[in-house]
Every structure is written in structure tokens, then in C-alpha cells.
Amino acid sequence: MGNGGDVRSTAYVGELAVVATDADGAGPGHLAEEVVITVANGVFTDVAVGATPPPGAVRLPGLTLPGFADAHSHAFHRALRGRTHADGGTFWSWRQRMYEVAGSLDPDGYHALARAVYTEMAATGFTSVGEFHYLHHRPDGGRYDDANAMGHALIAAARDAGIRITLLDACYLTGGIGEPLTGVQRRFDDGDAGRWAERVDELATAYRGDPDVAVGAAVHSVRAVPAEQIPEIVAWARGRTAPLHAHVSEQPAENEACLAAYGRTPVQVLTDAGFGGALSTAVHATHLTAEDIERLGATGTCVCFCPTTERDLGDGIGPADELVAAGALLTLGTDQHARIDAFEEARAVELNLRLAHRRRGCLEPGVLLAALTSNGQASLGFGGGRIAVGQPADLVAVSLTSPRTAGAEAASAIPTALFAASDADVTDVVVDGERVVTSGLHRDGDVGAALTSVIRDLGR
């Protein structure tokens, strides 16, 4: 990552590749065979279909796709995987375990955990992550000497793992509408939106000009930020053309509390404060009214679905098809990392809708691919998600000869990947023109061993 002034040229050859031209609009593009992809200084400098590869070109077998974006991550939740299902695994038992992990982390421990998590992401094809970050301070609410120590730890972890990061610094002020923060929640608190903005200004200034790091804003939720303070967060993001994300209507109880307090839905509270548009992302958006869908669609707002988390927590099935039809842009995230598998997130949106509507074809494969690639990258404030000249040089190669994908023909390669492939079928991942994953192996070595070690250490 980050070649800077290094102008070395590398060529990759995709047996089948999704390439983009002006005719493809803003989407990821169309399928082509024998594509020579040239990279210099971290960007694509030439994309030639059917050209003769130069000496030393790296061949990528199978299907080559643009880099994936994980648009919603809570890295520390990865330590919960498999540990929240006792006694029926209620939302409340899950939350208690989550707070236990949240209270155990310091900057060094968070760096170690996040590096292992981001390495797992990279090994499965994610080249960018949107980290929704609210573990700001010490567990008792006291400040670290550097108020952004935890944010710096996350950014360093992404660098070490070889992926881009948008740190979505979340304002988190209340434990519920009108309720004080208690226990470990105190480490989330900046006091008010003004002091949150002062701290995040320092963080954003530290990474200004870095092409692989963006600092954005987040309203944790209408439960955690009073309505009158949301406009200041929106103004901060708008003034810096920065991504702005928010948890929205994840559970019916959130909507009920918001209606009782404000007489409006969470979407109405947020959009009345200025939230919306291509750099705004409503995360989950599970329980929406028709007016909510219209508001998000009319402004071209991104919506981030996290199906493996939403089904793990029993949240429900969101109206992805209605949102897309209204004009919203679908993106995807792994959220609590019950699984880290881009293909599983993509197909789960469609398969959930099939169960809800009892019909197939609710969303076209191209919509799902755009959610993983071009839409997701844009929602994080990055270019990319397209194999085209001038775009960030991110590639994901997917095997078409594994037990899951064998038998795919060129015409069925994309649907096969989306509906049958898994994270195990990702063979090579290129970020900024550099191979981070080769033949299924991350450059850091054994991902499972790293995760085992760091999660074990957290339990001590």
C-alpha cells in the first residue's frame, strides 16, 4: 500500500474479469475474457481486453473482480463469535458479552485484535473497511494522553493488514433517549457534539492527504445522540466532504422510543437534521415506513445491510428491494463479524427477500455486485470498486474450479460467485497494485493462528 513516488509497473492478467467503461456508468462493469490490467503507483494505468501480456505478468485464474468494501465493521465484536448463544442467545445476553469485551481493550490490545480481524477481511477479498468506532476513551471514561489513541490503533491495524480504512468516528452521548451512560458506556462519551468534533478534527488532521485513510463521522443512533445535537455532527461531515454513517431502525424498540420522544421516526429525525445523500449511509434500515424509504431513496442515500448480523441478532429482514427501487444505493457490511464472507453477505440480502416475498429475482446480481464494490467504496469516501484506468488498483480473484464453483461457464461466472462461492474461494487479493493475498495465503501468514492468539489473550 501507498507506493508514493514509486512508479513501478505491474501487469495482471484476468482469465475472466469485470471491467468498467464509460458505458457502464458508475457500476462495477461488465465481464470480459483475457484482460491485461496494468498498474503503476497504486492505480490502474491500462485495461486491455485480449491484449498480449507483457513478460512477467501475473496470471489470475478464475474470475477477477474489483476490490470489495466492508462498509460497516465493529472490529472488537469479532471476539464474540460463537460465544453469545448460551441460554437461547438473546439480544440482551449478547449485549452483556459485548460490553465485557468493550471494557477489556486498551490501544495495544485493540490494535492486535483489529489487525487480526482486518487480516481476516483481506483474506476474503475486502480491500477497504468502514470501521464504526466508539471505543474512544478509557473504560472508566477517563481520557488517554492522546484522546485519539484508540482510533490511531485501528488505523495502524488496517495499514498492517494491508487494507484501506475509513474510520467512522461515532458520537455516542446517551444510554438511550434521555438516559445517562452507565458502566463501560462511559468510555464512548465525549460530553457533547462540540467536544466530539474537536477531538475528531485532531484525528482527521493527522491523516489529511493519506490516500488509504479517511476519517468520517457517525451518529451512533438516535438512541445515543440527542436530536438537537445531530445537526452539529452533520455539519462537521458536510464541511469536510466526509462520509457520514448512522445506525438506523435496527429494531422496532428503537422506532417506538424515537416516536415517543420526538413524534418522528429515526429516519425523519436524521434527515430533518440534514443527513442524506451519497456520502450518507443508513446502517441496517430494517424497520422502515414508506415515508422513510421515500426519503432515503429520493436523496440517493446509501443503505448498508449486514445480513449475517441481522439474522444472528434476530433483527428482521429489511426492505432492500424497495430502497433500491426508490433510488437508494445498497452497500454491505459484516458488522459484528458473525461471519466474514463477502459472498454470504451479498447473497443473503437476495435470499432473505426471496423468503419474505416467496419469489426469486428480487435484486439483480449486478445490484449485489455493485453493493460489494463500487457502491461500498463510494460510501466510504474512496474511489474504486471498478477496474478502470485511474481507479485504485484493487483486485479480487475467485476460483471457479473449487467444489463450490466448479462447472461455471463464462456467462454464469458472476452469479456462481455471488450465489455459490465462499471466502475460501478467494485466491488472490491486490490492494494498491500489491498482492496482499497470494494463492489463498495472506502475507502475514496463518490468519486463524493470529485470531486464536489475540482472542485467547483477551480472555486472560
The answer to whether 105 and 75 are in contact (CB under 8 A) is: no
Q: What pLDDT is stored for residue 72 in this prediction? A: 98
Domain positions in the chain are: 9-65+388-442, 68-379
- Residue 8 CB coordination number (10 Å): 10
Q: Which amino acid is present at 259?
A: L
Q: Which residues of the chain have pLDDT under 50?
A: 3-6
Residue 85 one-letter amino acid: H
68-379: CATH topology:
TIM Barrel (3.20.20)
φ, ψ for residue 188 (rounded to 5)?
-85, -15
Contact present, 395 and 58 (Cβ < 8 Å): no
Could you write out the DSSP letters of every residue in 356-417? HHT-S-SS-HHHHHHHHTHHHHHHTT---SS-STTSB--EEEE-SSSTTTTT--GGGHHHHH
- Measured distance CA(338)–CA(78) in Å, rounded: 7
Report how far residue 74's alpha carbon sits from residue 336's, in angstroms, rounded to the nearest whole number: 6
CA dihedral 108, 113, 119, 125 (to 10 degrees): -130
Q: What pLDDT was estimated at residue 93?
A: 80
Rounded Cα distance, 223 and 200, in Å = 21
> Grid coordinates standing for 329?
444505493
The DSSP line for 305-327 is E-HHHHHHTT-----HHHHHHHT
Q: Using an 8 Å Cβ cutoff, are 172 and 188 in contact?
A: yes
pTM to 2 decimals? 0.96
For residue 4, the model assigns a pLDDT of 46
Mean pLDDT of the chain: 95
Distance CA 71, CA 78 (A): 16
Q: If you classify domain 9-65+388-442 with CATH, what class do you get?
A: mainly beta
DSSP letter for each residue of 134-186: ---S-TTSPPPSSTTHHHHHHHHHHHHHT-EEEEEEEE---SBTTB---GGGG
